[in-house]
């Protein structure tokens, strides 16, 4: 297939015809055999099916993983493998087969032009830059459908974006954003409004946001966040407001936040193989009747953050949400962290299958593979920082 390729500099673009070679991206680490929660590499793991619950002692002991999965209104249609991605957004082709737009200069103007041109849809934006891009304000809203943004581990800084605005705001459907570093914005990355569905955010590093590292709200639905790294955000992941539902978050590492790791508000969310560490106020919360599965994941506090009420706020329900709305299995709580769900659901809710390792198996893999790879010095600095930091409402942790 021939596709038009547009190379965008600061002020001009040259049009040429080229073959689409399909930008590389990381997919699941093991193939599916078609059965829910199973792997074909023999390493075990799985999704949950309903008997028992997690251990809450500090020894790291866990209950055995079981087979099964979840969603409030999922109809059982395939939205995971076969394919590159898994979970509620996993079936999207993104911009495959569309025109390629190459951003070749690390400037606000060049990136802004590419986003504008993608508004017609059926586009692959490729960031062919090695130097950071510093925005002068929010990028145009991404309204186009069937779009892929292949970041190539480019870094976009948003210090000039206001606290209430998004650096990158996805409003169209069937969009993939992958291999991208987003730093120091208001909301760093957003999927927002009912027209935003069949979305994948993969291998994203989102750090230092004044508000949300990733925001999914106002009707956005059928979204996958996978293999991503979030740190230093006042609020890590926001999932809120009527109509936002059917969200998968898996193989993702969230650390050094104030709150929202993630916040699930009214929505259905399937959480698997995530690590949440060193929250300053609370870790993960299901709120206002939210529901979901929480499977084979880790909540951990370091000695620096293990005081006060934080241990009891690792995974909790709030504002009248019954703990029976949440299924938990094979989760680990370390550093004094505790789950406070008194009577979680006895069986999982249905959701698209996601390759799920046991909590013990997933931890080293997620620590090694989450975020934009290879990691740069800033992401590594967040990981290496063990003390001397604070974070709060309107007070992100931003590292140079």
pLDDT higher than threshold 60 for residue 81: no
> Is the per-residue pLDDT at 42 higher than 80?
no
User: Which residues share a beta bridge with 93?
Assistant: none
Give 140's DSSP letter: P
Determine whether 363 is exposed, middle or buried from the number of CB atoms within 10 Å of its CB (0-12, 13-18, 19+).
buried
* Residue 18 covered by a domain: no
Question: Of all residues in the chain, what percent carry a pLDDT higher than 70?
Answer: 79
**Chain center to CA of 375:** 17
DSSP string, 76-124: S---SSSSS--STTTT--TTTTSEEEEE-S-SHHHHHHHHHHGGGSSEE
Residue 121: domain span: 43-384
Grouping H, G, I as helix, E, B as strand and the rest as coil, residue 53 is coil
Tell me, yes or no, whether 131 lies in a domain.
Answer: yes
Q: Give the pLDDT mean for 320-339.
A: 95
Q: What is the DSSP letter of 345?
A: B
Residue 319, pLDDT > 70, answer yes
Q: DSSP label at 65?
A: P
- The CATH number assigned to the domain holding 290 equals 2.160.20.10
The predicted structure's pLDDT at residue 7: 67
Question: 351-393 pLDDT, tens per residue?
Answer: 999 999 999 999 999 999 999 999 999 999 999 999 999 999 9
Mean pLDDT to the nearest integer, 54-83: 34
Q: Do the beta carbons of residue 239 and residue 263 sit within 8 Å?
A: yes
Closest CA to 209 of 150, 277, 156: 156
Instruction: Tell whether 376 is covered by a domain.
Output: yes
Q: Per the domain annotation, does 101 fall within a domain?
A: yes
Residue 329 belongs to a domain: yes
pLDDT digits (tens, 9 = 90+) for 124-182: 999 999 999 999 999 999 999 999 999 999 999 999 999 999 999 999 999 999 999 99
Contact 222, 85 (CB under 8 A): no
As a whole number of angstroms, the distance between CA 325 and CA 311 comes to: 21
What would the mean pLDDT of 198-215 be, rounded to a whole number?
98
Q: Which residue has the higher pLDDT, 349 or 5?
A: 349
Q: Is 150 helix (H, G, I), strand (E, B) or coil?
A: strand
Number of folded domains that form the chain: 1
| Residue 124 forms part of a structural domain | yes
Model pLDDT, residue 193? 96
Closest to 302 (Cα-Cα) out of 251, 336, 338, 262: 336
| Distance, first Cα to last Cα, the chain | 43
Is 23 part of a structural domain of the chain? no
Neighbouring residues of 191: CB distance < 8 A, sequence distance ≥ 6: 170, 175, 199, 201, 215, 216, 217, 220, 223
- What does the pLDDT read at residue 83? 64
Closest CA to 92 of 24, 37, 173, 20: 173
The answer to whether residue 394 is domain-embedded is no
pLDDT of residue 6: 59
Instruction: Write down the residue that tokens 């995530």 correspond to.
Output: 274
State the average pLDDT for the chain.
Answer: 83
- The pLDDT value recorded for residue 66 is 28
pLDDT band at 292 (very low <50, low <70, confident <90, very high): very high
Question: What pTM value is reported for the model?
Answer: 0.83
């Amino acid at each position: 297939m021939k596709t038009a390729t547009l190379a965008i500099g600061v002020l001009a673009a040259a049009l040429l015809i080229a073959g689409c070679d399909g930008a590389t991206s990381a997919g699941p680490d093991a193939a599916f055999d078609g059965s829910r929660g199973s792997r074909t590499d023999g390493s075990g793991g799985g999704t949950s099916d309903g008997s028992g619950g997690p251990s809450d002692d500090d020894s790291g002991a866990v209950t055995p993983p079981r087979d099964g999965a979840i969603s409030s209104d999922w109809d059982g249609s395939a939205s995971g493998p076969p394919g590159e991605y898994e979970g509620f957004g996993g079936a999207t082709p993104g911009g495959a087969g569309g025109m390629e737009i190459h951003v070749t200069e690390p400037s606000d103007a060049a990136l802004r032009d590419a986003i504008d041109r993608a508004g017609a849809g059926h586009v692959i934006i490729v960031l062919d830059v090695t130097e950071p891009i510093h925005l002068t304000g929010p990028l145009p809203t991404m309204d186009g459908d069937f779009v892929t943004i292949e970041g190539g581990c480019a870094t976009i800084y948003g210090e000039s974006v206001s606290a209430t605005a998004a650096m990158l705001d996805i409003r169209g459907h069937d969009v993939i954003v992958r291999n991208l570093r987003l730093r120091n914005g208001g909301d760093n990355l957003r999927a927002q409004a009912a027209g935003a569905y069949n979305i994948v955010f993969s291998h994203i590093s989102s750090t230092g946001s004044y508000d949300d590292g990733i925001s999914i709200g106002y009707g956005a639905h059928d979204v996958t966040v996978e293999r991503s790294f979030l740190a230093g955000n006042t609020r890590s992941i926001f999932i809120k407001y009527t109509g936002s539902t059917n969200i998968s978050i898996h193989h993702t590492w969230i650390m050094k936040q104030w709150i929202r790791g993630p916040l699930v508000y009214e929505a259905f969310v399937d959480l698997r193989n995530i690590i949440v560490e060193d929250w300053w106020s609370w870790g993960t919360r299901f709120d206002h009747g939210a529901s979901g599965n929480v499977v084979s994941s880790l909540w951990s506090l370091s000695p620096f953050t293990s005081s006060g009420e934080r241990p009891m706020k690792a995974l909790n329900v709030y504002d009248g949400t019954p703990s029976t709305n949440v299924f938990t299995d094979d989760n680990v709580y370390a550093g004094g962290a505790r789950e406070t769900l008194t009577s979680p659901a006895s069986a999982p809710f249905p959701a698209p299958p996601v390759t799920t390792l046991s909590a013990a198996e997933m931890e080293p893999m997620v620590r090694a593979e989450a975020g934009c790879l290879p990691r740069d010095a800033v992401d590594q600095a967040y990981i290496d920082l063990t003390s001397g930091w604070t974070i709060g409402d309107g007070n992100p942790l931003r590292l140079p």
